[in-house]
Structure 1
Amino acid sequence: MTRPAWDSDTFSEYDEFNSILDAASTRLEVKTVSEVRAGARSFPLVTASIGSSDPQAPAIGFFAGVHGLERIGTQLVLEYMRALLERLEWDDLLAAQLQSIRLIFFPIVNPGGMFLNTRANPNGVDLMRNAPQNAEGHVPFLAGGQRIGPWLPWYRGPVNSRMELESTALIDVVKSELMSRPLSFAVDCHSGFGWDDSIWFPYARTDQQMMHLPEMYLLKTMFERAYPHHGYAFEPQSHQYRLHGDLWDYAYDATTPPNIFLPMTLELGSWRWIRKNPRQLFTRLGIFNPIKAHRTRRVLRRHVNFLEFVTRAAFASSRWLPHDDTRQRILECASAHWQRPAAR
């Protein structure tokens, strides 16, 4: 492992990531995929991988920190990463599992925004509105993505401009590590929308059904049977709102059949933290993160089950992926289940 060059004055999540990389230097494959600046500071965009070197092996990418204010997502991925590495010291089942699958961690996609305590990157661009495609139909004013200017939130960037360095780095990692495989998954951890936690999948730009709705339906069904009290809303993101420029829509549409790429957004509902501690509204980070230490610990405990489930589903994919003789029936069940709420 080649250790990246970190700035001396960074922030706690970067320090934690650095500590994990140092402690697992013999186990992890570390890559610097790009570098961004925030004022006078320079930040490498770093991924860490572990597991099978077979390019045909199923892979899971764990992403966070796309929005710089949503630090709890990065903390969750780092906690899961650290726990996996600790378990490898004694867990033979995990070691055997990693011989057949690959895990890719990109826990701080937007280090400049996180360093500056902004949702957007240092250029004022909301990375999750930065892909080139436009949504179909109505999107929420501003929140669906706007090109008025970076002084307003949810700025997409200039018309016909290239994607930001951070967005390009994320897509490059997805293309090289995930989309090129017969089967891959992505879990992108965010926070801030609603009372409840959600698992969203494409599409965000349209009500159109994704091609792999049967696969997503089986994932949902298996997860609910294994964890019947999970409490997530598991649905297409367009059921909540549509937006321009969603990076996961863009990556999903760029995947070449017959490869299967299943991206999911784990959206942690921050309003429940605010309800329990309304004073959080008066701090920028408090809108998106639990402030009380015991609530942070509770979040880190609660969501690890889903990350572990996706890893095991990838490992056991031959036992649940639908075949031609059953896929149509599953598609009918999935379509009925995920009708638009107004049509039910």
Structure 2
Amino acid sequence: MRCVIPPELAELAELQRIVQQGGAQLQQRVVCEVDVGGRRFPVHAITLGNPDPDVPAVGFFGGVHGLERIGAEVVLACLRSVVNRLPWDVLLHRQLEVMRLVFMPLVNPGGLWRGTRANPQGVDLMRNAPVDADDRAPFLIGGQRLSAGLPWYRGALGAAMQAESQALCRVVEEELLTRRFSIAVDCHSGFGLRDRIWFPYAHTARPIPHLPEMHALNRLLDQTHTHHRYVFEPQSRQYLAHGDLWDHLYLRACEPPGRVFLPLTLEMGSWLWVKKNPRQLFTRQGLFNPLIEHRQQRVLRRHVAWLDFIARAACGHAGWLPRGAARARHQEQALERWYRSARR
């Protein structure tokens, strides 16, 4: 069945324009469809590059929280940049010969259309996975099962994950977890005055098994973009949460030995936009998105450049992944930086 796009959902129309421009060089599939009051919205996965499972892959995800439109717009801007470079960028084509790119810019189109954090069923997709926090999570924000009328609702106990959550998991499992090395970036907004890059875990303060690899990636970012302002840290340093999709997928990825899957969450600091334009406090969209055009353009430029760095890092991972004694050093430095210092 063909999905008719309501005129209010500009991001979905933009995605289809980009896909049409990319033509045969892109592969597009509808992973699921979401019904909202008789309107049907597709959840798209766009892929390009080498499909061989022996090459690395990067997945870019946005729009998981419908209220945070800037996350979808960053991923769309990244895809648009790639498509616009396809006719002339020889280096991009060489990169695509040895890696795979995956895009899901609009994971929660129903939430985008309704202007809500949750999906149309009132479920927060980032609290929807079957993972419980080891320790006490903060009330409500850490995930709750009281009511879909309250924010951060996890869904009913024992119920299947929402269609959008299952679609994201299916794409990750098929496109990323089939490879020996992959990175995922999920773009959000709404946390503090700084742009933060979070990595698992969200459900426990314990370090992840691939802590040395995360530390090495952070070091690579520091060396490559010496003036960046990202705060790179485990999410557990801020708060614990139930039902985190990336914890769920990371735990799945760790089941077979020898696989490296590094899921990252970009939390754009939306309070900075409010600080510069306090009138945004009076609109729900303004709490999570830059409403002034030049600020939005600045945000897109900065984060699209970072996403390009992540793609390049994945492509060249053999040159920076730590091994042997170097891995042990990264482990010790990461523990000192992110875990032991937090307990002092």
TM over 0.5: yes
Deviates more, 1:84-93 or 1:246-255: 84-93
1:119-172 deviation line (CA, Å, top 9, x unaligned): 100000000000011111121110000000011100000011110000011111
Q: What residue in structure 2 maps to residue 229 of structure 1?
A: 227
The number of equivalent residue pairs is 342
Does residue 63 of structure 1 match 2:56? no
**Deviation for aligned residue 1:305:** 2.1
Alpha-carbon shift at residue 324 of structure 1 (Å) = 2.6
User: What TM-score comes out, normalization by structure 1 length?
Assistant: 0.97
Q: How far, CA to CA, are the matches of 1:332 and 1:157 in structure 2?
A: 39
Tell me the TM-score normalised to structure 2 length. Answer: 0.97
**1:54 and 2:52 correspond:** yes
Cα gap change, 1:200 to 1:38, in 2 (>3 Å): same
Counterpart in the other structure of 1:277: 277
1:330 Cα deviation (Å)?
1.8
Partner SS, residue 289 of structure 2: coil
Q: How far 1:239 moved relative to its partner? A: 0.4
1:60 partner letter: V
> How far apart, in 2, do the equivalents of 1:233 and 1:317 lie?
21
Q: Does the CA-based 8 Å contact 2:21-2:83 persist in structure 1?
A: no
Alpha-carbon distance in 1 for matches of 2:3, 2:151: 31
d(CA) in 2 for partners of 1:329, 1:266: 26
Deviations 1:296-327 (A, max 9, x none): 00100111221011111111111111223422
SS at match of 1:89: coil
- The residue that corresponds to 1:188 in the other structure is 186
C-alpha displacement at 1:334, in angstroms? 1.4
Distance, in Å, in 2 between the alignment partners of 1:290 and 1:151 is 27
Shift of 1:177: 0.5
Q: What is the letter of the counterpart of residue 12 of structure 2?
A: Y
Task: Tell me how far 1:257 sits from its aligned partner.
Answer: 2.2
Take 1:131 and 1:250, find their aligned partners in 2: how far apart are those partners?
A: 6
2:303 is the alignment partner of 1:324:
no
1:260 counterpart residue number: 260
Note the alpha carbon deviations across 1:12-41, whole angstroms, 9 max, x for none.
111110110111122100011111111111
RMSD: 1.3
Instruction: State the partner residue of 2:308.
Output: 308
Q: Is the 8 A contact 2:123 2:152 kept in 1?
A: yes
Structure-2 separation of matches of 1:8 and 1:306: 32
Following superposition, the deviation at residue 340 of structure 1 comes to 5.3
The alpha carbon displacement at 1:237 in A equals: 0.3
Mean CA deviation greater in 35-44 or 288-297: 35-44
Post-superposition CA distance 1:176-216 (Å, at most 9, x none)? 00011000000000001111100000001101100101111
Q: Is the 8 A contact 1:201 1:237 kept in 2?
A: yes
Deviations 1:58-102 (A, max 9, x none): 000000000001000111111111111111221111110110000
Q: Indicate conservation of the 8 Å contact 2:11/2:73, yes or no.
A: yes
Q: Which amino acid aligns with 2:55?
A: A
1:333 — aligned with what?
Answer: 333
SS across alignment from 2:88: coil
CA apart distance, 1:342 = 3.5
Gaps in structure 1 of 5+ consecutive residues: none
SS in 2 for 1:333: helix
Give the equivalent residue in structure 2 for 1:251: 249
